[in-house]
Structure 1
Amino acid sequence: MSRKLYYEDPYLTTFTATVTERGVEAGGTPYVVLDQTAFYPVGGGQPCDLGQIDSIEVIDVEEVDGRILHRLAAPLAGGEIVQAELDWQRRSDLMQQHTGQHILSAAFEDLFAAETVGFHLGRETTTIDLTVSELTQEMVERAEALANRIIFENRPVEAKFVTAEELAAMPLRKQPTVTENVRIVSVRDFDYSPCGGTHFAQTGEIGPIKVLSWSKYKGNTRVEIVAGWRALQAMTEQQLVLKNLSRQLTSSFTDLPGNVERLLQEKKELDKQLQEIKDKMLLVEAQEALQNAIPQGELSIVVLPLEQRTIPELQKLGQHITSLAPNSIALLAASGEKTQLVFARGANVPIKMNELLKETLPVIEGKGGGNPDVAQGGGQSALPTAEVLRHALSLLSNKLTTV
């Protein structure tokens, strides 16, 4: 087994090692196994370290069957002795998130008996799943404040393998999942947790921790957090958003919520007015369409190709046409990314629109449905809408001859 330097010194960034195994995986990715390594392999919710071995990029590190595989961007040339260097910025960031997560999890458990049952350290944020059905803003602020107080007190953090006797004497936040080689990460007088990840020696190195959001997740609550430089970056991004909004609305930060609420209410009223105007325009459009309807016996058939209309708009137009003229049939089609169809009939029309639509849809390789009074569907836009409607009109004419 490789000597795990990342446990001995999490600050180690360069080291010399001997290659004990070389190989190429089934997918063609070359790898090496070293007699000792400072590269932390993926596991326990923490991503792996990256860096270089003899100037070859390390793209992934994973422990497989007791061997730590260093997957490489290219085959490793040269002798058995290699020089390796970690990406310290990545390692430092991961330690900020992971150690910060330990402290925030402990704060939630200490204050609200909310246990952490899930943890994922992502590229941008970290999530923890808490055994609490609901969190309030006040609860989050209290946990944040306690976690940041522990961080700014710069308490010692110790990570070590312990004996069964030492383990029994510790006030563990959670029980270990293994019975041998148990490693405990402790924040003095605050948190004691089994963990195989890399951590700082002092809490002050974590930097501030901030909860970004929380939501219900599988009966628990998922909390999204950032720590250290990620927290500062997140606050900078949010500050820029607020600054831009403040400038656009000519409003101070403190007045933004009220002004945004006012604008949303105004938009709601304008949307309502706009919908009323659209309905009136559709009614006028329906009246004009009926003037150009095709007479067929006692029926009037409106054939109307349109552009960039939604199904709801076509349905509303069809409703207006058939309400104004109970003896009418509306064959409506709108072009766009898809060809949209709506067929509607008045109260005095015997032809079933869902059957007519079903027979028309194959020409556009479409799908749809409806009922005898109104049917709708969509399909490919390769065929001009006027041609689709001509086909539908032909089908309708055949049906009318058999009625």
Structure 2
Amino acid sequence: MKLFYEDVNLQTFQAKKTDEGTDQQGRRYVVLDHTAFYPTGGGQPHDTGLLNQARVYDVEEIDGTIRHYIEGTDPLLETVHGEIDWVRRFDHMQQHAGQHILSAAFENNFNLKTVSFHLGEEVCSIDLETDHVSEEVLKMAEEQANELVLENRPIETKWVSQEELQQYPLRKEVAVAGNIRLVIIPEADYNGCGGTHPTSTGQVGTIKILHTEKQRGQTRIYFVCGKRVNRQLGEKHDVLQSLTAKMSAPQEKLADAADRLLNQNKQLEKTVEELKNQLLTFEADQYQDSLVKAVFTDRPVAELQKLAKMIVEGNEEKIVLFVNETDEKLQLICGRSADSETDMNQLIKSVLPLINGRGGGKPDFAQGGGEKLMSAESLLEAWVKQL
């Protein structure tokens, strides 16, 4: 017997053990003659709690049998005392009922159907059958959902047959046949659902849409209900207070302060890049030999690529061989001026086997890397001999 359907507010119960065992993953489970533990299903996570002193960490329904997965190895008595983690259960009830209300608001007022629902540990989401929802529609749907919450309408459940379904304006087709459980918010939402919900909309507390994203031609709406709204508000308030202090700006002017800071940062990045280019140009001018060979330590590869190109560009009969040593590997970069006939792609491949390396490129420029099987100086010396 599923006691969570008989009394959704039941937090403790007595039951008899009818079976126990371990599944294919070696997880220990117990089966009871009746239970108040809700198993995972319908987008809603399972309950947790205690059977005597054993912690129930997962609940599944397999072939009509509810398995309670428990920790520990101590044997359970034939009669057990069950205790539901009520904070977790009521949170799930708030989120699930809030989803019904929010989905009904989108469909009843804007003809936007919900195609899927996910109840996560921190936030929930629904996927709407549309690739775009305007900010105005989001705001109106949220307001209408919360108005329904404040009306404190009853949330009713009813078991009906397939034939009796015709009497109700269902929001979507039911996926089961036979004995069907309806969750009803009068004149608002009629939906086949096997989850747990509070007995009135007022118990949902508040519904808050957080943000949206596109998802395979649909729109995913992220939201929270009940106590999760307070938690989100507290977290965001802490962040705002921290930013207010760090940016010396009141909350209402934080966006403007952030824009100014970002613009300043872009300008600084541009200035730094210009200065780096000037330094590289100066460094490139120092290499006058026709064969430029050098070893570096922890230089950014992109920087060495730019330096090598600066050295060979506009010069005659110029070849550059760079070896860069990092904590984990050796990196090679080579280039030549336009009038040189040396093939850089073949040249770099001639030494890569020495370090179990990989790489390549074009006749005028190539790069690669490999293991530190020798010193950077020895690798450069071997490389020069290939010329």
CA distance in 1, matches of 2:378, 2:42: 61
Structure 2 match to 1:277: 275
Question: Quick check: 163-172 or 273-282, which moved more?
Answer: 163-172
Once the two structures are TM-superposed, the CA of residue 381 in structure 1 deviates from its matched residue by 4.5
CA contact (8 A) 1:54 1:76 kept: no
Once the two structures are TM-superposed, the CA of residue 243 in structure 1 deviates from its matched residue by 1.4
Structure 1 match to 2:86: 88
Distance 1:213 1:368, change over 3 A: farther
Structure 2 match to 1:7: 5
- The count of corresponding residues between Structure 1 and Structure 2 is 386
Structure 1 match to 2:318: 328
Distance 1:76 1:187, change over 3 A: farther
Once the two structures are TM-superposed, the CA of residue 338 in structure 1 deviates from its matched residue by 4.1
1:181 aligned to 179, 182, 197, which one? 179
In the alignment, residue 329 of structure 1 is paired with which amino acid?
Answer: I
Structure 2 match to 1:137: 135
Once the two structures are TM-superposed, the CA of residue 136 in structure 1 deviates from its matched residue by 2.2
Structure 2 match to 1:385: 376
Q: CA RMSD in A?
A: 1.6
Once the two structures are TM-superposed, the CA of residue 271 in structure 1 deviates from its matched residue by 1.0
CA contact (8 A) 1:31 1:75 kept: no
Distance 1:228 1:394, change over 3 A: farther
Structure 2 match to 1:309: 299
Does 2:165 match 1:167? yes
In the alignment, residue 334 of structure 1 is paired with which amino acid?
Answer: N
Structure 1 SS opposite 2:91: helix
In the alignment, residue 318 of structure 1 is paired with which amino acid?
Answer: A
Once the two structures are TM-superposed, the CA of residue 159 in structure 1 deviates from its matched residue by 1.9
1:256 aligned to 247, 254, 257, which one? 254
1:363 aligned to 350, 354, 358, which one? 354
CA contact (8 A) 1:95 1:198 kept: yes
CA distance in 2, matches of 1:381, 1:224: 48
CA distance in 1, matches of 2:311, 2:159: 80
Distance 1:148 1:380, change over 3 A: farther
Once the two structures are TM-superposed, the CA of residue 224 in structure 1 deviates from its matched residue by 1.4
Structure 1 SS opposite 2:149: helix
CA distance in 2, matches of 1:189, 1:93: 25
CA contact (8 A) 1:365 1:379 kept: yes
In the alignment, residue 171 of structure 2 is paired with which amino acid?
Answer: R
Runs of 4+ with deviation above 6 angstroms: none
Once the two structures are TM-superposed, the CA of residue 99 in structure 1 deviates from its matched residue by 1.0
In the alignment, residue 389 of structure 1 is paired with which amino acid?
Answer: L
In the alignment, residue 343 of structure 1 is paired with which amino acid?
Answer: C
Distance 1:365 1:95, change over 3 A: farther
Structure 2 SS opposite 1:37: coil
2:225 aligned to 227, 231, 236, which one? 227
Task: Give the TM-score, by structure 1 length.
Answer: 0.91
CA distance in 2, matches of 1:176, 1:367: 57
Q: How does 1:3-402 map to 2 (within 5 A)?
A: 3-75=1-73, 77-288=75-286, 290-291=287-288, 293=289, 300-336=290-326, 337-381=328-372, 383-395=374-386, 397=387
CA contact (8 A) 1:49 1:60 kept: yes
Structure 2 SS opposite 1:230: helix
CA contact (8 A) 1:335 1:385 kept: yes
CA contact (8 A) 1:185 1:193 kept: yes
CA distance in 1, matches of 2:150, 2:46: 27
CA contact (8 A) 2:51 2:81 kept: yes
CA contact (8 A) 2:156 2:199 kept: yes
In the alignment, residue 253 of structure 2 is paired with which amino acid?
Answer: D
Once the two structures are TM-superposed, the CA of residue 391 in structure 1 deviates from its matched residue by 2.7
Distance 1:363 1:145, change over 3 A: farther
Distance 1:309 1:93, change over 3 A: same
CA contact (8 A) 1:311 1:341 kept: no
In the alignment, residue 305 of structure 2 is paired with which amino acid?
Answer: Q
CA distance in 2, matches of 1:382, 1:155: 74
Once the two structures are TM-superposed, the CA of residue 215 in structure 1 deviates from its matched residue by 0.8
CA distance in 2, matches of 1:380, 1:210: 53
- Seq. identity, %: 43
The gaps in structure 1 that reach 5 residues or longer are 294-299, 398-403
CA contact (8 A) 2:162 2:179 kept: no
Distance 1:253 1:286, change over 3 A: same
In the alignment, residue 321 of structure 1 is paired with which amino acid?
Answer: I
Once the two structures are TM-superposed, the CA of residue 154 in structure 1 deviates from its matched residue by 1.4
Once the two structures are TM-superposed, the CA of residue 382 in structure 1 deviates from its matched residue by 5.7
Once the two structures are TM-superposed, the CA of residue 42 in structure 1 deviates from its matched residue by 0.7
CA distance in 1, matches of 2:128, 2:85: 31
